[in-house]
Each structure stands twice: as C-alpha cells, then as structure tokens.
C-alpha cells in the first residue's frame, strides 16, 4: 500500500501507539490501515468412492489439479463461500458437510479451510477458471500435478480417515522455505520463471504442525 484509501495521501509504515507491529499509517488523516490474512474456502466433493478435482485455467499453477476453492466474499458465511466456489469451478451439486481441514499458510497471509461435501449427482459443468473437472479414484489421483500443498495434505488426511471409517477435524501450519533465485542466464521467459518459482515454493513447503480434533465423526457428514 502506497496511498491512503481514505484521503489519498502517501502512507508510511510505523508502529502505532499501543500496537506492536508495523502498520500502514497516514500522517495526513491519521488513519491506520490494517492488513489481515485472507480466508480461502473449498470443499472435498465426493461421488461414491471418487473425489472431484478441477484443473486450473488460471495462474498460479495453471494446468495443475486442485480441490474447488477460492477467496471468501463479503456478506457470506464460510460454508456459503465453499459451496459457491464448488459451483463456480466445477458446476457440482453438493450437500455441504462439516469442516474437515484448516491450514494456516503464513507465507502468503492466508488460511485455507475445506469442508466435507458429498455430491448429489455425478454431473459436472466446470466454469471459466477450470480447464476441466473430473472424478478420480484414489489410485488415479495425479499427486505429482496437485497445485497446492494445502490441497495434497487435505487429500491425504481425507483418504486416511476414509480408510478408518471416521472423519475428524484436522489442522496444520504450512511453512515455505525461501530458496535462492536461479542465475540470470538460467532463466528463459517470464511465464516459465513464474511457474518455476511457484514450484520451488511448493517443493520447499513443510508442515510444521498437525493436530486432529478429538471425537471422530463417522460418515462424510451432511448439513444438519
């Protein structure tokens, strides 16, 4: 942020009185502009024993597979946002279940939250942000082409819980280790370099913590 959205004056970074973090502060109108993590909402849609994945038609991670998910909008609940994203990206009809995974991603100032979501039918109609949507058996999941670490971790938890016949709420923190940039002569074009940087971030990710809430839940769990 360079300019104050309230008065248009250039902002400065300083620690306001009574605070302990750098904030964007306006020296003209004295407004303090707080920047907080954003919530990404998604689902784990399932039909029979298959899991729905979407192949991304946008960057980052164009062409990679993901669970349907996106940023929460104003004036909607977390569940409403997850259901909306599922319709927009896959055209799938679901019965929204309980929250299944919550993953903090401090590196990009985000929290990712996925809900259980048994489908009401196998019909799919992917939107413009998806190249395609497809139902996968466990053996056919394209693990090497999963877009984000939060998605692959959520899928692994889901498959583990499904095998034991009970679903629990899982939480974790995904941290990314910064890697040294490639030499200038090793870079080809902007698009390739951007994809390589994202891939490096994914490869350098590690899960710091994992906890499972007590009290397992049987079945996939629909809305009550």
pLDDT digits (tens, 9 = 90+) for 5-50: 999 999 999 999 999 999 999 999 999 999 889 999 999 999 999 9
Burial of 209 (0-12, 13-18, 19+ CB in 10 A): exposed
User: First and final CA of the chain: distance in angstroms?
Assistant: 42
Average pLDDT taken over every residue of the chain: 86
Q: Look at residue 35 in the predicted model and tell me its pLDDT.
A: 86
* 122-132 exposure pattern, b = at least 16 Cβ within 10 A, e = fewer: eebebeeebee
Distance of CA 80 to the CA centre of its chain: 16
- What six digits make up the tokens of 118? 């048994």
* Tens of pLDDT, residues 96-135: 999 999 999 999 999 999 999 999 999 999 999 999 999 9
Q: Which residue has the tokens 């039909």?
A: 47
Burial of 113 (0-12, 13-18, 19+ CB in 10 A): buried
Higher pLDDT, 195 or 110: 110
Q: Look at residue 206 in the predicted model and tell me its pLDDT.
A: 63
Q: Look at residue 189 in the predicted model and tell me its pLDDT.
A: 37
Q: How many CB atoms lie within 10 A of CB 65?
A: 26
Q: How many CB atoms lie within 10 A of CB 117?
A: 30
pTM score, whole prediction:
0.80
Mean pLDDT of 195-203: 42
Q: How many CB atoms lie within 10 A of CB 8?
A: 10
């Amino acid at each position: 942020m360079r300019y104050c959205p309230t008065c248009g004056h250039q902002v400065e970074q300083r620690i306001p009185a009574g605070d302990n973090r750098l904030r964007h502060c306006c020296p003209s109108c004295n407004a303090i502009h707080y920047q907080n993590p954003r919530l990404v909402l998604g689902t784990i849609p399932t039909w029979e024993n298959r899991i729905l994945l979407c192949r991304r038609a946008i960057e980052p991670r164009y062409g990679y597979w993901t669970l349907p998910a996106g940023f929460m909008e104003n004036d909607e609940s977390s569940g409403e946002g997850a259901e909306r994203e599922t319709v927009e990206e896959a055209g799938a009809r679901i019965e929204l279940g309980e929250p299944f995974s919550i993953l903090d991603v401090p590196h990009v100032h985000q929290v990712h939250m996925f809900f259980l979501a048994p489908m009401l039918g196998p019909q799919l109609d992917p939107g413009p942000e998806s190249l395609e949507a497809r139902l996968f058996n466990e053996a056919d999941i394209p693990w090497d082409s999963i877009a984000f670490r939060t998605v692959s971790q959520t899928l692994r938890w889901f498959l583990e819980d499904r095998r034991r016949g009970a679903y629990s709420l899982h939480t974790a923190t995904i941290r990314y280790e910064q890697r040294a940039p490639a030499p200038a002569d090793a870079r080809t074009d902007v698009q390739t370099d951007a994809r390589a940087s994202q891939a490096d971030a994914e490869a350098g990710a590690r899960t710091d913590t994992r906890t499972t809430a007590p009290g397992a839940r049987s079945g996939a769990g629909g809305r009550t």
